[in-house]
Amino acid sequence: MSQAPGAQPSPPSVYHERQRLILNLPSPVSLGLLSLPLRRRHWVALRQVDGIYYNLDSKLRAPEALGDEDGVRAFLAAALAQGLCEVLLVVTKDVEERGCWLQTG
């Protein structure tokens, strides 16, 4: 995409800057069909591709489409409701320095 000479490039929207999320979730432990009263930690990555967020959990047979931002918000709300969930937001240094990841819209 070309720009007029001297024009400043527009900054990417916050939506596109929040493309990667990593969750550390409690995960049940089982031996075959027997579920044990233990919980281990499991890392799950969420990634946005072409406007759609995907759950890239290695325990799934294939990536799970979560949909747009509303879908990923619903997924995060459910994950956080389990308790003992940690969410890591991966952003560029520029995004971190500007603090725009703190904006809600």
Residue 29 lies in a domain: no
Does residue 104 contact residue 91 with C-beta atoms inside 8 Å? no
Sign of CA dihedral 74, 79, 80, 81: positive
Q: Is the pLDDT of residue 101 over 80?
A: no
User: Three-state SS for 10?
Assistant: coil
Q: Which domain holds residue 39?
A: 34-102
Residue found by looking up tokens 């075959």 in the block? 32
Tokens of 43: 């890392």
In a domain, 26, yes or no: no
- Average pLDDT (70-76) is 92
Residue with tokens 């509303």: 70
Amino acid at 103: Q
Span 22-63, pLDDT tens digits: 988 887 777 778 777 767 888 999 998 888 999 999 989 999
Q: Is 79 inside a domain boundary?
A: yes
User: Would you call 19 helix, strand, or coil by DSSP?
Assistant: coil
Mean pLDDT of all residues in the chain?
A: 77
Identify whether 4 is part of a domain.
no
